Amino acid sequence: MNYCYQNKKSATVFYLSLLFLSLWYNVAFSQAPAYCSVPSSDCSFDDEIKNVKMGTLNNSSSGCSGNGYVDYTSTIAAPNVNRGSTVPIAVTIGPGGNDSVAVWIDYNQDGVFQSSEYSFIGGAKTNVNATINGNIIIANTALGGVTRMRVRVKFFSPSAPNNTPWTGDDACKGFQYSETEDYKVNIDASCNIPSLPTLSPDTVLCGEGAANLRVTGGH
């Protein structure tokens, strides 16, 4: 028997196995997170997102889609935001009336919109296009890099089934009259916004005198 040939054959099989495992690992663990889909909804009664502005993001081409969902993550450039900062956002909605806006940003980039990643932006009762202005506080624990942001608008009325206000668990929930849009944001985690220290006296004075001021907190 040719042992040299057998050893070469075994080595080839071994290295091919390693190559297969390496490719499988890279495919299995390098894929982008698969975010939850949103059930189809009806935005034909003007319960829709007309525009989203956030930093350099300005999507004036936004509007009602056929199934109430649009994915802009591959067509709209991600705005840059700083970890720990307060970022203004403006969402123009259609004239459906009694509509409100909520936003989720996947700060830990795990592919799940959690209640801790939720921001309520505001609402409007008007029957004309209204711009809802609000702020999003980017979490101090946010991971750096590009992640997904979900913007949602829905109709609210005093009667069921449209009488439920937004909660942090509604990123993937279906609503009868609503629209959902997904975007990307790029989080700069190189520095945090500093917090201000607090000053407090160590002595209560009821007249003239001296007291020491104690500085606590801040970074």
For each of the chain's 219 residues, which pLDDT tens digit applies?
Answer: 554 445 444 544 444 443 444 444 443 444 567 899 999 999 999 999 999 999 999 999 888 988 999 999 999 999 999 999 999 999 999 999 999 999 999 999 999 999 999 999 999 998 899 999 999 999 999 999 999 999 999 999 877 777 789 999 999 999 999 999 999 999 999 966 566 677 766 655 565 666 666 666 555
- φ and ψ of 30, to 5 deg: -110, 0
Residue 104: CB atoms within 10 Å: 25
Answer whether the bond into residue 161 is a cis peptide, omega within 30°. yes
pLDDT given at position 21: 44
Domain-wise residue ranges, the chain: 1-31, 49-188
| Cβ-contact 37, 166 below 8 angstroms | no
Q: What pLDDT shows up at residue 161?
A: 75
> What CATH superfamily is the domain 49-188?
Immunoglobulins (2.60.40.10)
Amino acid present at 31: Q
Which DSSP letter does residue 116 get? Answer: G
The pLDDT score that the predictor gives to residue 57 is 98
The per-residue pLDDT for 26 is 45
C-alpha span between 159 and 108 (Å, rounded): 36
Identify the CA nearest to 176 among candidates 150, 202, 156.
156
How many of the other CB atoms lie within 10 Å of CB of 186?
Answer: 15
The partner residues of 51 in beta bridges, in order of sequence, read: 92
- Spatial neighbors of 199 by CB under 8 A, at least 6 apart, are 213, 214, 215
Residue 202: predicted pLDDT: 60
